[in-house]
């Protein structure tokens, strides 16, 4: 298979970027999208150019490092996969492919397709945890958790922190990311004591990072490689209302 | 090189308890006067940082990733062992200990393994308290599954994402400390060397992967939790970024490298689909609980699975090992698969795999149950291969996966370089010559949450409290060396890419120091590797500059280190003139084709001392004593 | 009030307040529509109803008291809704300063993309509507107090009537997505009721649409005359 790639190249956060066009030749349909980029990069290196910078690590869809806008869709057209799990069989021979970095003010471009997603980490800093000291807990089976609750918490906990939700959202909102963590912890009995402070702190940090607000578009859910549902955003909204009610009433 | 394992005296069961009491403590007010550097944010690094930060030490953590949530621990699928005996099926700390020692083919330290089994209980408690959503039964209790190499159900799991959930638990605990100000997190910083002051580890030198700035960081102790070196094979199930640089750089500064030849080949990875393959993807070993492994009886049988009748299928693991069958240990399963493929029984378009078939399980339990257990693994398989495992059997083949070898550490997890602690996969300590499934997560977290935070106080209590100054000449020297080496990589400006060299190295290692090794092959490898290394330094092309975000440069540094390290690995494989666990020398097999140990001559840890570039490393030995288990020939028949 | 202002401090809270103010307007629209439909009962009835609104609650409430209280509530909701919309959309614009060269529309709700521009259109319409039917500046032959005559006269021009119909398209679409996402926004979304949400929102939007356009249509077709 052969493809024409239009790849966003940008040397640094402060430098303007632009598209470069590359031809990808003799691509196997079994190649992953990143393997196709590897091949392009090998060619660029041989020709004395700098290869396209993109983030990747596990290449099995769990680390959340990779991610790029492929023909206007985060992680490409397949759905329910990270870019590393997208295979060239999802494209047609001769396709033109536009490749762009995640675009959000909160995700400055570091180079080419690599962006800084530190803002997501700082949302976790604001309260995305359960405060428990190492060594102090009770026996694990002393706490009974309904299977349904554990399963739902796990649905939310699957988030890989790739940022596709932000990339897809017309408002560049990270509400799905935030909601996934708020819901994961808020659904479990262990997470109850901090439930309402957590949601307020995390949403406040979310806003401070410069992410947009959620307008119930639903693009995030469509783009999420783990299929995390916007129902978790509803859950977050509810918790936030309760939270402001409680804290402002004090 | 002094190798004192410092194993506490006394009965096995009391060693850790007694040792914890005997160790010196740092009083709470003084803890914040001690700086601790932790490199790596996988399970071991993140959990150690979180715990030490909470204890009050001044912790600085470094990771080359963009976030502390990306380390490859995240990819562990199947589960984590703990001797909770929640199933009442006869499990106990001693049984987990015994299984681990036996699984490691009697090449691990009893005391370390026993401590690991003890701490396994605390890990589960800790993880649950943090909100790790382990699988539950309908009654609300924790669910368990069984795993390769064990006859009890002791594996806790969170769907097929146990590593992810445990890592996120540790990451969140770490982030809590970052928010509290006890831990300073440096992302996108790669450690490129360690700094020794008067023979003790006192800092590291890092390169900022965005700005390219090389700088040093000082502390009273350095903790390395930088993972394993499977990527020496180029194709492995490890993440692309996994590398040996941190541990190899430490080895060059005098830390002993123990048992580098113990590399585990995982039996259930998806076979490569072509030349361009950049990495291999593992399918959790838990699949072997319900899947049956088979190949066509007839070599070269080109029919699809459905067309091959039952009596023409060879369920070879069940045939060879009636009691363990498809759950036989990893090394055995891997080797048998290779044997089958080599003998022409391989399946798939490239004839490079064996079948893992769920048909019987689906018939017996129904697809909903199978989907509940393995749904996401099946999806993952389908995404990669385009085949549906509910309909056609999966194809699997062994792949390099985990490295039992690592930096030598004593019972306190401190290397022979005082002040340098090594945790998780980066050390050598607990798995012997072969690691059992669902034990890596256990070890990483035991080291990070419980062992290192306790033992480091014993060390720090004897260290002067005044801050370590970066003004010491050692820091400037190492910084300069690091910068010079980086520049050297850029200056070669040859004609071949870094990956081309890495692929070539991987091929040598896989063929000559892979699943099966022999003297002749290893000697060839020892000739080829230095040649390849010399060519690398003459012909490699690293585009760009050192002052920018330069991924080629990052890779080049790592491959350069693999090219040095690979040699030690081959030396070790050659010197260990026996077969044991994952180290299989074709000269040493039993009549049944199993690994044949030589306990008389090789019941030791092989520790390699670096002697300089181009010099052969020197072998030291730490003898292993077995007082609580009887050395037996491993038999899974 | 403290709680309301606390809510307004977060993006999610703003969204909740928008949902509440929007819902107040939905309530207003239902009342307004019911009032409008009284036109079908004849000029006398309709004028009486319009007059009644002004003197509602007398003598307990001063003349125009009820109407102004009501107007004030609706006005506050309206202004609040607009300000919040302005703030949140500005935030969203700031959140993505560089646009994609290519972006597919990933969404489960087409109407969501229409909320902002539709909202602006509605704002313009409301101003027009007030100047047209309430204060009369834009009405060719406005007579204070003659509600029925004003209504029929004002809508007898096909252009103006068409404008009202178009405005109702915007209002209904806005309402449809607004009502649908209301449950999501205030956190009442639950998988169990998911299936019912969309039909309910569609039904409400349709009722409002047809209820309102029935008047201009009736005027144009001669069903409602002087």
Q: What is the tens place of the pLDDT at every residue in A93-116?
A: 999 999 999 999 999 999 999 999
Domain positions in chain C: 7-90+111-220
* Number of C-beta neighbours around residue C148 at 10 A: 20
d(CA C154, CA C136): 10
Select the residue from B130, B231, B380 to test the A interface by mutation, using most A Cβ atoms within 10 A: B130
Are residues B164 and B58 part of one domain?
A: yes
Task: Give residue-wise pLDDT tens across range B450-486.
Answer: 999 999 999 999 999 999 999 999 999 999 999 999 9
Task: Give residue-wise pLDDT tens across range B533-580.
Answer: 999 999 999 999 999 999 999 999 999 999 999 999 999 999 999 999
Higher per-residue pLDDT: B246 or B286: B246
From chain A, the residues in CB contact with B136 under 8 A are 145-147, 150-151
| Whole-number pLDDT of residue A23 | 97
Average pLDDT for B22-32:
95
Q: Residue B389 — pLDDT band, cuts 50, 70, 90?
A: very high
| Whole-number pLDDT of residue A12 | 93
Q: Which of B70, B330, B533, B576 is catalytic?
A: B330
| Whole-number pLDDT of residue C193 | 75
Domain assignment present for residue B335? The answer is: yes
Are residues B436 and B306 part of one domain?
A: no
- C12 and chain A in contact, CB less than 8 A: yes
Domain positions in chain A: 3-111, 118-249
Select the residue from B125, B155, B493 to test the A interface by mutation, using most A Cβ atoms within 10 A: B125
* Cβ contact A125–B495 (<8 Å): no
From chain A, the residues in CB contact with C177 under 8 A are 216
Are residues B294 and B251 part of one domain?
A: no
Residues 209-238 of chain A whose Cβ lies under 8 A from any Cβ of chain B: none
Question: Does the pLDDT at position B635 exceed 90?
Answer: no
Average pLDDT for B248-275:
95
- A95 and chain C in contact, CB less than 8 A: no
Question: Does the pLDDT at position B508 exceed 60?
Answer: yes
Average pLDDT for B241-251:
98
Are residues B382 and B321 part of one domain?
A: yes
Average pLDDT for B118-138:
97
Question: How many residues in chain C?
Answer: 226
- A106 and chain B in contact, CB less than 8 A: no
Domain assignment present for residue B20? The answer is: no
Domain assignment present for residue B256? The answer is: yes
Are residues B238 and B175 part of one domain?
A: yes
d(CA B262, CA B280): 19
Closest CA in chain A for residue B127: A140
If phi over 0 gives left and psi between -120 and 50 gives alpha, with beta otherwise, what is residue C42? Answer: left
From chain C, the residues in CB contact with A71 under 8 A are 102, 104
Q: Residue C186 — pLDDT band, cuts 50, 70, 90?
A: confident
Q: Residue B374 — pLDDT band, cuts 50, 70, 90?
A: confident
**Is B touching C (3+ C-beta pairs, cut-off 8 A)?**
no
| Whole-number pLDDT of residue B488 | 98
d(CA A200, CA B105): 53
| Whole-number pLDDT of residue A204 | 96
Q: Among residues of chain A, what percentage have pLDDT more than 70?
A: 99
Question: Does the pLDDT at position A248 exceed 80?
Answer: no
0.90 exceeded by the pTM? yes
Burial profile B294-304: b = 16 or more Cβ within 10 angstroms, e = fewer: bbbeeeebeee
Domain assignment present for residue B482? The answer is: yes
CA C164 to chain centre: 12
Are residues B87 and B47 part of one domain?
A: yes
Residues 224-283 of chain B whose Cβ lies under 8 A from any Cβ of chain A: 239-241, 273-274, 276-279, 281-282
Task: Give residue-wise pLDDT tens across range C105-123.
Answer: 777 666 677 888 889 999 9
From chain A, the residues in CB contact with C100 under 8 A are 69, 72, 100, 103
Subunits that touch chain A (at least 3 Cβ pairs < 8 angstroms)?
Answer: B, C
Locate B398 and state its tokens. Answer: 């062994």
Higher per-residue pLDDT: A178 or B581: A178
User: Cis peptide before B570, with omega less than 30 degrees from 0?
Assistant: no
Question: Does the pLDDT at position B44 exceed 80?
Answer: yes
| B330 given a catalytic annotation | yes
How far is the CA of B221 from the CAs of B84, B467, B615, in angstroms? 34, 11, 29
Beta bridge partners of B356: B293, B394
Out of A244-248, B123-127, B215-219, B410-414, pick the least confident: A244-248
Shortest alpha-carbon distance between residue B439 and chain A (Å): 19
- B170 and chain A in contact, CB less than 8 A: no
- B350 and chain A in contact, CB less than 8 A: no
Domain assignment present for residue B184? The answer is: yes
Task: Give residue-wise pLDDT tens across range B395-421.
Answer: 999 999 999 999 999 999 999 999 999
| Whole-number pLDDT of residue B149 | 61
* Cβ contact C12–A235 (<8 Å): no
Q: What is the dihedral of CA B154, B156, B159, B160, to 10 degrees?
A: -70
Select the residue from C5, C94, C96 to test the A interface by mutation, using most A Cβ atoms within 10 A: C96
Are residues B292 and B235 part of one domain?
A: no
Are residues B378 and B300 part of one domain?
A: yes
Sequence-distant (6+) residues with CB within 8 A of C124 are: none
Query: How many independent structural domains does chain B possess?
Result: 3
| Whole-number pLDDT of residue B280 | 94
* Cβ contact B129–A137 (<8 Å): yes
What strand order describes the sheet that includes B257-258? Answer: B406-407, B257-258, B604-609, B618-623
Choose among C12, C98, C185: nearest Cβ to A103.
C98
Q: Residue B637 — pLDDT band, cuts 50, 70, 90?
A: low
Nearest to B38 by CA among B49, B28, B26: B49
Mean pLDDT over the full length of chain B: 95
- The H or E element spanning position C179 is helix C158-185
From chain A, the residues in CB contact with B550 under 8 A are 50
- C109 and chain A in contact, CB less than 8 A: yes
- A164 and chain C in contact, CB less than 8 A: no
Q: Residue A250 — pLDDT band, cuts 50, 70, 90?
A: low
Nearest to C97 by CA among A211, A117, A119: A211
**Residue A247 · residue A204 · CB < 8 Å:** no
Task: Give residue-wise pLDDT tens across range C40-73.
Answer: 999 999 999 988 888 888 888 888 888 899 999 9
* Cβ contact B279–A59 (<8 Å): yes
From chain A, the residues in CB contact with C22 under 8 A are none
Average pLDDT for A227-238:
95
What strand order describes the sheet that includes B354-357? Answer: B263-269, B394-403, B354-357, B292-296, B313-314
Taking the alpha carbons at both ends of chain A, their separation in whole angstroms is 65
Subunits that touch chain B (at least 3 Cβ pairs < 8 angstroms)?
Answer: A
From chain C, the residues in CB contact with A212 under 8 A are 11, 88, 91-96
- Architecture (CATH level 2) of domain C7-90+111-220: Up-down Bundle (1.20)
Per DSSP bridges, beta strands B420-422 and B263-269 are: unpaired
- B89 and chain A in contact, CB less than 8 A: no
* Domain region containing B480: 476-623
| Whole-number pLDDT of residue A16 | 94
* Cβ contact A237–C186 (<8 Å): yes
Select the residue from A10, A60, A201 to test the B interface by mutation, using most B Cβ atoms within 10 A: A60
Are residues B455 and B481 part of one domain?
A: no
- Which CATH number goes with the domain that contains B619? 1.20.58.100
Domain assignment present for residue B26? The answer is: no
Locate B267 and state its tokens. Answer: 């039996």
Out of B10-24, B301-315, C56-70, pick the least confident: C56-70
* Cβ contact A230–C184 (<8 Å): yes
| Whole-number pLDDT of residue C110 | 64
Are residues B433 and B331 part of one domain?
A: no
* Number of C-beta neighbours around residue A55 at 10 A: 26
Average pLDDT for B305-334:
90
Nearest to B56 by CA among B30, B83, B95, B91: B30
**Residue B526 · residue B512 · CB < 8 Å:** no
Choose among B133, B187, B278: nearest Cβ to A59.
B278
Are residues B528 and B388 part of one domain?
A: no
Q: Which CATH class is domain A3-111?
A: alpha beta
- A26 and chain B in contact, CB less than 8 A: no
Q: Which CATH code fits A118-249?
A: 1.10.1060.10
Task: Give residue-wise pLDDT tens across range A123-159.
Answer: 999 999 999 999 889 999 999 999 999 999 999 999 9
Sequence-distant (6+) residues with CB within 8 A of A3 are: A23, A24, A27, A36, A88, A91, A94, A95, A96, A97
Are residues B233 and B160 part of one domain?
A: yes
Domain assignment present for residue B51? The answer is: yes
Question: Does the pLDDT at position C194 exceed 80?
Answer: no
- A179 and chain C in contact, CB less than 8 A: no
From chain A, the residues in CB contact with B135 under 8 A are 150, 154
């Amino acid at each position: 298979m052969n493809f024409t790639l239009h790849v966003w190249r940008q040397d640094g956060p402060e430098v303007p970027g632009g598209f470069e066009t590359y031809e990808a030749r003799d691509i196997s349909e079994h190649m992953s999208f990143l393997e196709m980029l590897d091949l392009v990069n090998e060619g660029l290196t041989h020709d004395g150019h700098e290869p396209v910078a993109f983030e990747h690590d596990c290449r099995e869809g769990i680390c959340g490092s990779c991610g790029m806008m492929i023909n206007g869709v985060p992680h490409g057209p397949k759905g329910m996969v990270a870019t590393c799990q997208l295979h060239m069989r999802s494209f047609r021979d001769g396709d033109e492919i536009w490749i762009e970095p995640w675009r959000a003010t909160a995700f400055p471009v570091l180079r080419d397709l690599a962006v800084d997603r530190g803002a997501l980490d700082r949302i976790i800093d604001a309260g995305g945890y359960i405060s428990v000291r190492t060594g102090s807990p009770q026996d694990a089976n002393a706490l009974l958790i309904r299977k349904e609750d554990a399963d739902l918490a796990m649905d939310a906990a699957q988030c890989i922190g790739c940022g596709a939700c932000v990339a897809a959202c017309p408002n560049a909102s990270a509400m799905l990311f935030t909601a996934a963590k708020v819901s994961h912890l808020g659904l479990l009995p262990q997470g109850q004591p901090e439930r309402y402070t957590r949601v307020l702190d995390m949403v406040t940090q979310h806003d401070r990072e410069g992410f947009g607000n959620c307008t119930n578009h639903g693009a995030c859910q469509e783009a999420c490689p783990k299929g995390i549902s916007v129902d978790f955003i509803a859950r977050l909204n509810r918790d936030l209302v309760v939270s402001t009610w409680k804290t402002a009433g004090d | 090189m002094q190798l004192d394992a410092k194993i506490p005296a006394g009965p096995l069961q009391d060693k850790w308890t007694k040792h914890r009491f005997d160790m010196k403590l740092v009083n709470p007010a003084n803890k914040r006067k001690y700086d601790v550097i932790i490199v790596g944010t996988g399970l071991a690094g993140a959990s150690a940082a979180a715990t030490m930060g909470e204890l009050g030490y001044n912790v600085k953590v470094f990771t080359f990733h963009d976030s502390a949530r990306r380390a490859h621990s995240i990819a562990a699928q199947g589960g984590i062992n703990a001797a909770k005996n929640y199933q009442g099926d006869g499990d106990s700390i001693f049984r987990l200990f015994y299984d681990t020692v036996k699984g490691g083919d009697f090449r691990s330290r009893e005391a370390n393994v026993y401590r690991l089994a003890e701490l396994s209980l605390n890990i589960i408690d800790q993880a649950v308290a943090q909100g790790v959503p382990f699988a539950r039964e309908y009654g609300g209790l924790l669910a368990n599954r069984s795993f390769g190499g064990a006859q009890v159900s002791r594996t806790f799991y969170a769907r097929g994402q146990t590593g992810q959930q445990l890592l996120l638990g540790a990451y969140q605990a770490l982030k809590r400390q970052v928010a509290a100000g006890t831990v300073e997190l440096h992302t996108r910083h790669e450690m490129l060397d360690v700094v020794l002051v008067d023979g003790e580890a006192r800092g590291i030198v890092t390169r900022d992967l965005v700005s390219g700035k090389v700088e040093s960081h000082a502390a009273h102790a350095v903790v390395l939790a930088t993972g394993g070196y499977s990527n020496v094979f180029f194709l492995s199930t490890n993440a692309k970024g996994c590398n040996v640089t941190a541990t190899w750089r430490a080895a060059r500064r005098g830390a002993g490298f123990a048992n580098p030849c113990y590399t585990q080949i995982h039996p259930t990875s998806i076979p490569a689909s072509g030349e361009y393959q950049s990495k291999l993807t593992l399918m959790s070993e838990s699949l072997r609980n319900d899947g049956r492994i088979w190949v066509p009886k007839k070599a070269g049988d080109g029919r699809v699975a459905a067309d091959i009748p039952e009596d023409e299928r060879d369920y070879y693991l069940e045939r060879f090992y009636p009691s363990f069958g498809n759950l036989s240990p990893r090394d055995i399963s891997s080797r048998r698969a290779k044997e089958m493929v080599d003998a022409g029984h391989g399946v798939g378009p490239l004839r490079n795999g064996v079948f893992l078939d769920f048909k019987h399980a689906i018939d017996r339990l129904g697809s909903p149950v199978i989907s509940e257990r393995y749904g996401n693994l099946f999806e993952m398989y389908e995404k990669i291969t385009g085949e549906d495992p509910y309909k056609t059997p999966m194809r699997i083949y062994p792949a390099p996966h985990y490295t039992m070898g690592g930096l030598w550490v004593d019972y306190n997890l401190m290397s022979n370089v005082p002040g340098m602690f090594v945790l998780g996969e980066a050390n050598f300590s607990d798995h012997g010559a072969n690691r059992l499934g669902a034990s890596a997560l256990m070890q990483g977290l035991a080291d990070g949450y419980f062992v290192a935070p306790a033992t480091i106080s014993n060390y720090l209590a004897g260290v002067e409290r005044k801050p370590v100054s970066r003004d010491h000449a050692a820091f400037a020297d190492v910084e300069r060396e690091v910068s010079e080496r980086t520049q050297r990589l850029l200056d070669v400006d040859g004609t071949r890419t870094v990956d081309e060299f890495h692929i070539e190295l991987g091929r040598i290692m896989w063929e000559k120091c892979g699943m099966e090794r022999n003297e002749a092959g290893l000697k060839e490898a020892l000739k080829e590797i230095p040649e390849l290394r010399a060519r690398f330094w003459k012909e490699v092309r690293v585009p760009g500059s050192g002052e920018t975000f330069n991924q080629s440069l990052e890779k080049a540094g790592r491959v350069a280190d693999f090219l040095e390290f690979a040699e030690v690995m081959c030396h070790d494989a050659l010197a260990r003139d026996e077969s044991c666990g994952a180290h299989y020398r074709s000269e040493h097999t039993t009549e049944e084709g199993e690994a044949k140990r030589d306990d008389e001559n090789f019941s030791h840890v092989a520790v390699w001392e670096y002697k300089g570039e181009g010099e052969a490393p020197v072998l030291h030995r730490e003898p292993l004593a077995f007082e609580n288990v009887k050395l037996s020939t491993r038999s899974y028949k | 009030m403290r709680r309301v202002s606390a809510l307004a401090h977060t993006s999610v809270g703003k969204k909740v307040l928008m949902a509440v103010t929007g819902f107040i307007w939905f309530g207003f629209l239902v009342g307004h529509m019911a009032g409008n439909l009284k036109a079908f009962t004849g000029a006398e009835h309709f004028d009486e109803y319009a007059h009644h609104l002004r003197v509602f609650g007398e003598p307990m409430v001063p003349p125009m008291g009820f109407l102004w209280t009501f107007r004030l509530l609706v006005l506050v909701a309206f202004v609040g809704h607009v300000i919040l919309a302005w703030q949140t959309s500005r935030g969203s614009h700031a959140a993505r300063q560089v646009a994609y060269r290519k972006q597919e529309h990933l969404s489960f709700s087409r109407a969501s993309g229409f909320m902002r521009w539709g909202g602006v259109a509605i704002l313009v319409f409301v101003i027009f509507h007030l100047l047209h039917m309430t204060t009369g500046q834009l009405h060719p032959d406005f007579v204070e107090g003659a509600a029925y005559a004003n209504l029929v006269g004002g809508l007898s021009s096909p252009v103006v009537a068409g404008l009202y119909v178009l405005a109702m398209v915007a209002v209904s679409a806005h309402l449809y997505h607004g009502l649908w996402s209301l449950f999501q926004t205030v956190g009442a979304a639950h998988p169990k009721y998911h299936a019912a949400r969309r039909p309910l929102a569609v039904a409400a939007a349709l009722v409002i649409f047809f209820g309102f356009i029935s008047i201009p249509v009736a005027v144009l077709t001669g069903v409602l005359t002087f």
